[in-house]
Every structure is written in structure tokens, then in C-alpha cells.
Amino acid sequence: MLSGFYQESEGKVSFTRDQASRFAKLIADDYNPLHDIDAKRFCVPGDLLFSMVLNKYGVSEKMHFTFAGMVDEKVSLTFPDADSDIALTQDEKVYLSVNREGDTSTCEELTNSLIKNYVEFSGKAFPHVIIPLMGEQEVMINPARPMVMYESMSIEFSNLDVKQPVLEFVTPEFELSGKRGKITLPFVFKDGDKVIGKGEKNMLVSGIREYCQKTVDELIAYYNQRKVDLKPA
């Protein structure tokens, strides 16, 4: 599932711009300009790093991911041998830390299902959730520099005796502070009608400006056109 989106050499994992951009667009349906091949401030999608962690370490009952730095094509990450907490580093600089608690499952079906469900959910956040959520407080992102950054995410299961949990989105939250804000996207995991887990994705937004419907309409139209023009073959 992930083999075409990274390379590993001498125990270090890296990502080309093409690999990271293709994962964002093809797997996550994420057209954030930061993941474009020619982006000036290019970065590897946080969802790809999340997926790599699950692929290498399995799924624990409780996991909290903290994104501490932007990974680009020049970064080669060390994935350590670990039975508990994890830190993905290059030259002692931490780019992603993961706190783990409880039992761990290495079931490939569970891992792939969780990656697919979460990444699809995550990729739909912009513009379908974020723009109307911010609009409730009469603000919007800066269309010239739409800076929406991954801060952290967490998942928690009551047990791991499940192979294909279904992720369902619940009511999002937006906390505004001047020209910055924090977006929380909560969700639950279900096995049939039974809730067996929960989680949330947290993002930071900067360059917030006053809401303008005309600008929002233009931004959404531009984003939708990007999806047509940049969709990988």
C-alpha cells in the first residue's frame, strides 16, 4: 500500500517530491499547495508519516502523534527500534513523536483499513469542513497563502479485536485567536453500530482574515480546478 511512496536506505527513510505529492493527491485527495512538486515551502504530508508509523509499528490502543517539524525531500528519517514511544529523527532533530499505550496489533488488515479510512477522512477536511467551520466566526484563511498545518492527532481503541473499523466524523471545533486559530476534527471508530474507539486531528491556521463570500467562492472554485488539473494518472 505504501511501497511506492518512500525509499529506505541504510536504515533511513526519505521521500521524493513526486512520491509525497502523489500520496497527497492520489491516496489522501489532499491538494494543499504545500504538497505540490514545485512548492517553494514543500513538505511531506503528515498523513504519509502517520501511515508509515502504523505500517512499521502496528496499531496501539492509544497513540498520540505530535508533528514537530516540516519534512521535505532533503530529510532522511530514522525509524528506531521501539517497544513504546517513538521519535522520527534526523541528526537528533525530532520531526514526529508518537506516544503509545496499551496493547499493539500488527494485523495487516487492521493497519491498512485504518490508514485508508483515516487518510480519506483527513483529506476531505479542506475545503469542505474547514471553510464553513471558520465562516461561522466570520473569518477565513488567506487565499494568497493558505497556511493550514498539521499539529497533532490521536487515536484510541477500547480493544484491537477488529479488522475493519469504520471511521465516522463528528462535530468539528474552531478556536480563534487573532490572526491564528486551531481546528479540531474529532471522529469515532465503529464496528457495526458499536463505538469501539475515538480520535481527533488538530491543525493550526495562520494568516486569518475577515470572511468574504466572493473570495470563498473563488477559492473553492480554484481548489476544485486544481483537483482536475493535478490529479495523478
pLDDT digits (tens, 9 = 90+) for 46-100: 999 999 999 999 999 999 999 999 999 999 999 999 888 999 999 999 999 999 9
Q: Nearest 5°: phi and psi at 67?
A: -90, 115
Sorted by where each begins, the domain ranges of the chain are 3-230
Q: Does domain 3-230 have CATH number 3.40.50?
A: no
How far apart CA 199 and CA 167 sit, in angstroms, is 9
pTM over 0.85: yes
Span 200-219, pLDDT tens digits: 999 999 999 999 999 999 98
Which cell numbers in the block locate residue 92?
A: 537528533
Give Cα separations from 233 to 2, 44, 77, 229 (angstroms): 17, 20, 28, 11
| Chain CA centroid to CA 161, Å | 25
